[in-house]
Amino acid sequence: MFEDTKKLNLNKEYNLSVHLIINGISNPIRSQLKINQKLISLNIYNTNEIFEFNYDILTCEYGNYKIDLFNAQSINTSSDFYSNTNDFTFTVEYLLFKEWNAEENINKITIHSKDIGNWVGFTNLQRELGFDIYNRLFNSHNENFLTQECKNFIFKINYNIKTNQNTFEGKITYSYVPSFEIEFKEKILFQKAKKIYHDFLDFMYLFLGFNLNPNKLLFSSGNKELNNSYYFYKKTIDEYQNNSIYIALANDLFEQYRPKLNIEVLKNYFELNKYSKSFYKAFKKYKMFHYTEEKFLGYFKILENIMFEDEILTDEMKEILRKEENREKLSEFHIKKCKKLKSKDCISYIRFIVFYKKLPIEIINKLILKKEDVKKIVDLRNDISHFNEYYVNENDLEKYIDFLELLVNLCLLKKIEYTEEEFISNLSFYPQNHRVFNI
pLDDT digits (tens, 9 = 90+) for 155-194: 999 999 887 777 788 877 888 999 999 999 999 999 999 9
User: Do the domain assignments include residue 400?
Assistant: yes
Domain match, 115 and 190 both: yes
CATH code of the domain in which 67 resides:
2.40.10
- Compute and round to an integer the Cα radius of gyration of the chain: 27
Which percentage of the chain shows pLDDT scores above 70? 87
| Phi, psi (rounded to 5 degrees) for 184 | -75, 145
pLDDT at 340: 44
Coil, strand or helix: which one is 232? strand
The shares of helix, strand and coil residues in the chain, as percent rounded to the nearest 5, are 35, 30, 35
Compute the average pLDDT of residues 228-233: 96
Which percentage of the chain shows pLDDT scores above 90? 64
Altogether, the residues listed in the chain come to a count of 439
User: Do the domain assignments include residue 251?
Assistant: no
Q: Which residues 6+ apart lie within 8 Å of 56 measured at CB?
A: 70, 71
Domain match, 90 and 110 both: no
- pLDDT confidence band for 352 (50 / 70 / 90): confident
Domain match, 405 and 307 both: yes
Nearest to 67 by CA among 21, 4, 1: 21
pLDDT at 308: 73
Domain match, 310 and 385 both: yes
120-124, 300-304, 328-332: range with lowest mean pLDDT: 328-332
C-alpha to C-alpha distances, 57 to 32, 49, 72, 234, nearest whole angstrom: 17, 18, 7, 17
pLDDT at 1: 39
**Contact between 259 and 427 (Cβ < 8 Å):** no
Domain match, 110 and 66 both: no
Instruction: Select, from the ranges 174-183, 188-197, 221-230, 283-292, the one with the highest average predicted confidence (pLDDT).
Output: 188-197
Domain match, 224 and 323 both: no
Q: Which residues 6+ apart lie within 8 Å of 242 measured at CB?
A: 209, 210, 431
pLDDT at 321: 61
User: Do the domain assignments include residue 245?
Assistant: no
Higher pLDDT, residue 80 or 21: 21
**Contact between 214 and 109 (Cβ < 8 Å):** no
Nearest-angstrom CA–CA distance, 405 and 303? 9
pLDDT at 430: 93
Nearest-angstrom CA–CA distance, 145 and 352? 42
Q: Hey, how many other C-beta atoms are within 10 angstroms of the C-beta on 309? A: 7
**Within a 13 Å sphere around the CA of 16, how many CA atoms are in the beta-carbon half?**
27
User: Do the domain assignments include residue 259?
Assistant: no
Higher pLDDT, residue 436 or 311: 436
Rounded to the nearest integer, the mean pLDDT of the chain is: 88
- pLDDT confidence band for 291 (50 / 70 / 90): very high
Residues forming beta bridges with residue 367, ordered by sequence position: 437
4-8, 244-248, 305-309: range with lowest mean pLDDT: 305-309
Compute the average pLDDT of residues 368-379: 90
Q: Which of 173, 207, 233 is the last residue of a domain?
A: 233
Nearest-angstrom CA–CA distance, 349 and 375? 6
pLDDT at 339 exceeding the cut of 80: no
Q: Which amino acid is at 219?
A: F
User: Do the domain assignments include residue 253?
Assistant: no
pLDDT at 438: 86
Domain match, 214 and 292 both: no
pLDDT at 36: 96
Compute the average pLDDT of residues 19-33: 91
Q: How many domains does the chain have?
A: 3
pLDDT at 375: 86
Vertex 112: Cα angle to 111 and 114 (nearest 5): 135
pLDDT at 342: 42
What is the DSSP code string of 353-408? HHHHHTS-HHHHTTBSS-HHHHHHHHHHHHHHHTT------HHHHHHHHHHHHHHH
Nearest-angstrom CA–CA distance, 111 and 201? 11
Domain match, 344 and 399 both: yes
Q: Which of 44, 67, 98 is the last residue of a domain?
A: 98
Nearest to 119 by CA among 39, 79, 163, 178: 178
- pLDDT confidence band for 343 (50 / 70 / 90): very low
Question: What pLDDT, in 10s, does the model give residues 254-280?
Answer: 998 899 999 999 999 999 999 999 999
| Phi, psi (rounded to 5 degrees) for 130 | -70, -40
Domain match, 55 and 140 both: no
Domain match, 76 and 118 both: no
- pLDDT confidence band for 89 (50 / 70 / 90): very high
Structural domain containing residue 356: 273-436
User: Do the domain assignments include residue 340?
Assistant: yes
C-alpha to C-alpha distances, 193 to 106, 182, 404, 432, nearest whole angstrom: 7, 9, 33, 33
User: Do the domain assignments include residue 12?
Assistant: yes
Q: Which residues 6+ apart lie within 8 Å of 329 measured at CB?
A: 322
- pLDDT confidence band for 2 (50 / 70 / 90): very low
Nearest to 136 by CA among 178, 177, 176, 181: 176
pLDDT at 59 exceeding the cut of 70: yes
- pLDDT confidence band for 329 (50 / 70 / 90): low
Domain match, 194 and 311 both: no
Q: Which of 79, 98, 117 is the last residue of a domain?
A: 98
**Within a 13 Å sphere around the CA of 43, how many CA atoms are in the beta-carbon half?**
10
Vertex 180: Cα angle to 175 and 181 (nearest 5): 115
Domain match, 111 and 215 both: yes
Nearest-angstrom CA–CA distance, 265 and 250? 14
Question: What pLDDT, in 10s, does the model give residues 125-165?
Answer: 999 988 887 777 666 678 999 999 999 999 999 999 887 77
pLDDT at 90: 96
User: Do the domain assignments include residue 266?
Assistant: no
